[in-house]
Copies of this chain bind each other. A is one copy, B any other.
């Protein structure tokens, strides 16, 4: 199966609820983008392949050529087997941390501004997650929710997002404050290192 991760993710999502390619693309855009970005030019060919393999089928045709897909029994088995038999690839790609390794190239003021941007952006994300969490809690109080099923798993992911953003903001704030406090030392160390360039 070409592109194992994306294909299995599509199976898993369709197992939770039958959807069209467009619906899946919106789901990736709205909630999954923070875990696994995927856009329609990847999704549509992958769905076509899953259908050929008999792991999903068109369960309904709607207006505007919409095709709603549902997993088959084989599709569920495939997704489960993938979860059981393989470990996640735990590689992360974090451009901000990569940039941090070269942040000493900027002066203390610019470095503090870098962290200011990070703090602002991650506070914004945190607020968004807090709001979603509050809405979820309200829903839960009305309808209840079992400790299982797709919604419960989504709630666990949201908890992680909250913790992550809180911790990130705390770390970035602490780093920013130290850079500002020791600005003179920061600039001196920078000067020493830059002096040895191109000689």
Contact = CB atoms under 8 A, between A and B. Distances in A.
Interface of A: 5, 8-9, 11-13, 15-16, 32-37, 70-73, 76, 79-80, 83-84, 87-106, 108, 110, 114, 117, 121, 146-150, 152-154, 156-157, 159-160, 163-164, 167-168, 170-171, 175, 178-179, 181-182, 185-190, 192-194, 197-198
Copies in the assembly, this chain: 2
B150 A104 contact: yes
Contact of A189 (B101, B147, B168, B194): B147
A12 B110 contact: no
A108 B149 CA distance: 11
A153 B98 contact: no
Nearest to A170: B163
A37 B91 CA distance: 8
B96 A189 contact: no
B163 A93 contact: no
A121 B89 CA distance: 12
Contacts of A71: 197-198
